[in-house]
Amino acid sequence: RLIRGDIRSFDFEKRYIHKEGHSVWVYINSTVVEDDRGKPVHFLTYIRDITAKKIADQSFFEINTRNQAILRALPDMMFLQSRDGLYLDFYARDQNMLLLPPESFVGKNLNDVLPPDLAKKVMACMARLDDSDEIQILEYSLELSGGKREYEARIVAAEGNKALSIVRDVTDARRASEAARISEEKLLLSNEQIRRLATQLMTAQESERRRISLLLHDDVGQNVAALGLSLSRLKRRLSSLPEFEPDLEFLATQTKALTTQIRRLSHQLHPEALEHLGLVAALESHVADYCQVEQIDLEFKAEVGSESVPFDVSLCLYRIALEALRNVAQHSGAKRGALLLKEEDDVIVLEVGDAGHGFDVVKARHGSGIGLLSIEERIKPLGGTVEIRSNPQIGTLLIARVPLPR
């Protein structure tokens, strides 16, 4: 076409591979040179290395693409303004997010666009940019056709004595946060009500235990004791009839065992030693019976004066000790254990350990048993804590801590 005279010149860009392997971009421009008769004589070709420009263009394209992707992902609106409040440019992923259509505010002053009180606050934020590099944060709300919406604006200084406002609609987030707060308050209230009910239930249980304990001690126990005396008198009257002696001896033995069981049950329900002699004496008495009945070698150590432990704390720790020792006997398979009561910095510490099978504490907490739950609920009203460490085939250690009132 150049030779035929259809065109006078042409140009194009072409990529070459350098001998060292990298790309080289060149711009080529060719123009035909003619003689006096208008016939082509030769070509004048201009070649220029445009590699740097191509690299810069590619870099700009990648940066622009990345920035556009970031902007599309942001839920924010952006407004570029002069320091005197003139809207120069904007960005919104969806123009439905805008208070007004673009033609109603671009090129206009915010004092003519925004409500007066909001415009005053925005201008005050932009004025503070002259004295500080800090981001100016403004929270406000607007009444729109769809209802009240809440916004958060972050205003920063921009190049050329301008200001950039990044505005986010936080209505849904605020509503979700408020709903979560209300739900949390309801949950806390519900938990508090459950704790109060648990405390009332435990108080009622202790009252009922005391009543049943007194009934066993004063009525059932005395009746069984009277039965034992009657058997003794009957044995003496029938001493001349030796054929009745084995049966009478068996009845006397059973009556004595029943008396022991009633006494033990009465003490477990309401240990008088706890009320009159203190926690240490009550635990000592229980440990003695426990070792005899369960055939478990239980070591008991007390490093605290019983007079320093208030009764409500003593009762709490006594019940926890009984529950823990019951678990040792029923589930651990241990033949040895330890019970330690000590005082550390105005805190009473109860430790119950065994060398038994151990168990999975997490599964136990979510299981059907109520032993661990009852221990935790019993100690909470006193501001105490319970820690359980257990390893299969190694053993279990329960640590209960209750602060002493000052």
Q: Which CATH architecture has domain 9-65?
A: Ribbon (2.10)
More confident of the two residues 264 and 310: 310
- Residues contacting residue 269 through CB under 8 Å, at least 6 positions apart: 209, 210, 212, 213, 216
Cβ atoms of 166 and 76 within 8 Å: the answer is: yes
Query: Which of these ranges, 56-65, 142-151, 356-365, has the smallest mean pLDDT?
Result: 356-365
Query: Which range, 30-44, 146-160, 264-278, has the best average confidence (pLDDT)?
Result: 146-160
Residue with tokens 């909001």: 118
Summarised one tens digit per residue, pLDDT across range 105-123 is: 899 999 998 999 999 999 9
**CATH of region 271-406:** 3.30.565.10
User: In terms of C-beta density within 10 A (0-12 exposed, 13-18 middle, 19 or more buried), how is residue 25 classed?
Assistant: middle
Domain boundaries, the chain: 9-65, 75-169, 185-269, 271-406
Name the band, by pLDDT with cuts 50, 70 and 90, for residue 72: low
- Residue among 252, 268, 266, 326 nearest 296 (CA): 326
Cα(236)–Cα(156) distance, rounded to whole angstroms? 108
Q: State pLDDT tens for residues 252-271.
A: 888 888 887 877 777 777 77
Domain 75-169 has CATH 3.30.450.20: yes
What is the residue-wise DSSP string for 46-108? EEEE-HHHHHHHHHHHHHHHHHHHHHHH---EEEEEETTSBEEEEEESSGGGSSS-GGGTTTS
pLDDT per residue as tens digits for the range 203-236? 777 677 777 766 676 677 677 778 888 888 888 8
- Check residue 214 and give its pLDDT: 65
Mean pLDDT of the chain: 83
61 falls in which pLDDT band (50, 70, 90)?
confident
Q: Summarize pLDDT for 330-370 with one digit per residue, the tens.
A: 888 888 999 999 988 889 999 999 988 888 777 776 665 55
Looking at residue 217, its pLDDT comes to 63
